Amino acid sequence: MNTIATTCLMSVLLLACGSGQSTPPTGTPATEVGARRVIQIFQHRHLRPRPLDAALCRVLFDRVLDALAAPRACRDVLGSEAEALEQELQRGDFSFPSRAAGHCGLPPIGTTRARALMLDALAKAHDPHSAYLTAEALARVRSEIHDAAPDAMRVRGRVVEHGDARIGLMVVPSFSLHADRSTSSDAAYVIQALSTQGVDVLVLDMRGNTGGVQSEAAKLVALFAGPGPVAQTVTANGALDILSAEADAVWTDPLVVVVDTMSASMAEVAVAALQDRGHALVVGQRTHGKGTGQTLVLLSSPHGGRDGAVRVTDRRFHRLDGRPLQQLGVTPDVVLPSSTAIASERDRIAALTFDAIPAIPAPPPLRGAPSTEAFPFSAALSWLRAEGLPSLAP
């Protein structure tokens, strides 16, 4: 599982599958229940639902063969299978992967893996961030949410001297909520510690932050901007909502935020809010462009057992001015070079795209607009350029 997908899982709401669903008829095969349930979930909750038709089945056919690493010659022989796949899936028959492995001379796969391959192919046919999670993968996600935060994911800070400026550095690797602490509480503690050391400017390092818990990202914005809107969200049914934060600011002095192509998802939401509300000078590279959110929907077997979950892309984030974060990301006020080059959401063939929506008013900034020429912003930029975007971790 890639880093962005992993951290996004920290922000999902685990919902009981079956809510609002009718009870399957007695004697209905478990595979049929699973197929119909998952198809229904994506048709009703995904931002861009796809009908189960020949076009979708062709995509599923190709994805399953890719997962099996089926040779080209075998794919040609199996070409006619794609036409029969639609009817099989409508019946809840997930036997195609097992049959394909047999035709291709590959090691046999059982019913459980065949079903997992089909469900994951169905999810990823909608967008790259939707997926199927086995019961074991779901258990790992839950442990990540509830276990103590690993040291590498905790907020850290230090002070450096550059010319006449004292620069406070704070690294926020992700937005998490654990049994022992949260990102926002750690950040408030670090900010207060740096404040007592008389720093002139705070540099917030959000490079490599691939997102996490939505509420924690909003709370971080409030630490710098105070109460007010953070982003606009649009759900699959077109409902518009405002993501807001209510806490008071604990740092209202100059703020510089450093981002890169790995800054994604809720990190982009937070940075965009600080930029739109005039509270930060954003420097670095254009961010990843993942402006969607996902929810885990639990799957239950007809007998009440757990059967994994599907991760569904069911909401998208827009800036206060209405621009979508999806694919566009956040463009820094000052571009600084970086040796890190990775693919972004804009490079994904199946990445979703969205139009802008109407803007909403943004509250006025708590201080004057950031200026690259004014001290201590100029000192922070000078240090970052001199060090070549160093690691800001202590």
What is the domain-level CATH number for residue 263? 3.90.226.10
pLDDT confidence of residue 390 = 59
pLDDT confidence of residue 82 = 80
Residues 56 and 40 reside in one and the same domain:
yes
Q: Is residue 31 part of a domain?
A: yes
Length of the chain: 394
Question: What is the three-class DSSP state of 379?
Answer: helix
Q: Is residue 286 part of a domain?
A: yes
Angle at the Cα of 198 from the Cα atoms of 197 and 203, rounded to 5 degrees:
90
- If one counts the domains in the chain, the total is 2
- Give the domain-ending residue among 128, 144, 160: 144
Residues 308 and 179 reside in one and the same domain:
yes
Q: Is residue 328 part of a domain?
A: yes
Residues 159 and 305 reside in one and the same domain:
yes
Task: Round the average pLDDT of the chain to a whole number and report it.
Answer: 85
Residues 282 and 157 reside in one and the same domain:
yes
Distances (CA, A) of 170 to 21, 227, 318, 394: 47, 21, 26, 9
Q: Is residue 23 part of a domain?
A: yes
- Give the domain-ending residue among 103, 128, 144: 144
- Burial tier of 245 (Cβ tally within 10 Å: 0-12, 13-18, 19+): buried
Residues 125 and 171 reside in one and the same domain:
no
80 CB-near residues (< 8 Å, 6+ apart): none
- Output the DSSP codes for 25-58: PTT--HHHHHHHHHHHHHHHHSSS---SSHHHHH
- Give the domain-ending residue among 144, 178, 208: 144
- pLDDT tens-digit profile of 108-123? 999 889 989 999 999 9
Please give the Cα distance from 16 to 256 (Å, whole number). Answer: 42
- Pair of tokens at residue 97: 């992967």
Please give the Cα distance from 111 to 128 (Å, whole number). Answer: 25
Please give the Cα distance from 381 to 394 (Å, whole number). Answer: 19
Task: Judge whether 392 and 167 are in contact, CB under 8 Å.
Answer: no
More confident residue, 94 or 172: 172
Neighbouring C-beta atoms of residue 199, cutoff 10 Å:
24
pLDDT confidence of residue 89 = 82
β partners of residue 126: none
Of residues 348, 308, 290, 1, the one with CA closest to residue 132: 308
State yes or no: pLDDT of 206 exceeds 90.
Answer: yes
State yes or no: pLDDT of 255 exceeds 70.
Answer: yes
pLDDT confidence of residue 39 = 83
Mean pLDDT value of segment 42-68: 91
State yes or no: pLDDT of 186 exceeds 90.
Answer: yes
CA dihedral 127, 130, 132, 135 (to 10 degrees): 170
Confidence of residue 20 (pLDDT cuts 50, 70, 90): very low
Confidence of residue 391 (pLDDT cuts 50, 70, 90): low
pLDDT confidence of residue 35 = 66
Please give the Cα distance from 209 to 153 (Å, whole number). Answer: 10
- Pair of tokens at residue 304: 């009440």
pLDDT confidence of residue 18 = 28
pLDDT confidence of residue 343 = 87
Confidence of residue 83 (pLDDT cuts 50, 70, 90): confident
State yes or no: pLDDT of 22 exceeds 50.
Answer: no
DSSP 8-state code for residue 287: -
pLDDT confidence of residue 276 = 96
Please give the Cα distance from 41 to 19 (Å, whole number). Answer: 11
Residues 206 and 344 reside in one and the same domain:
yes
Please give the Cα distance from 193 to 26 (Å, whole number). Answer: 62
Residues 130 and 201 reside in one and the same domain:
no
Distances (CA, A) of 19 to 11, 22, 23, 80, 248: 21, 9, 10, 38, 37
Q: Is residue 393 part of a domain?
A: no
Residues 296 and 169 reside in one and the same domain:
yes
22 CB-near residues (< 8 Å, 6+ apart): none
Q: Is residue 394 part of a domain?
A: no
Instruction: Name the strand (E) or helix (H) holding 308.
Output: strand 306-318
Residues 67 and 178 reside in one and the same domain:
no
Mean pLDDT value of segment 76-99: 84
Least confident of 311-325, 337-351, 363-377: 337-351
State yes or no: pLDDT of 62 exceeds 70.
Answer: yes
- Pair of tokens at residue 162: 């550059």
Q: Is residue 367 part of a domain?
A: yes
β partners of residue 245: 228
Residue given tokens 């059982």 in the structure block: 110
Residues 232 and 284 reside in one and the same domain:
yes
Angle at which helices 54-68 and 96-103 cross, to 10°: 50
Question: What is the three-class DSSP state of 6?
Answer: helix
Residues 157 and 269 reside in one and the same domain:
yes
Least confident of 55-69, 79-93, 205-219, 225-239: 79-93
Confidence of residue 135 (pLDDT cuts 50, 70, 90): confident
Domain containing 56 equals 3-144
Least confident of 190-199, 289-298, 300-309: 300-309
Cite the DSSP H helix spans in 69-182.
72-77, 81-91, 96-103, 111-124, 135-146
> Nearest 5°: phi and psi at 264?
-145, 165
Residues 347 and 306 reside in one and the same domain:
yes
pLDDT confidence of residue 143 = 72
State yes or no: pLDDT of 33 exceeds 60.
Answer: no
Neighbouring C-beta atoms of residue 143, cutoff 10 Å:
9
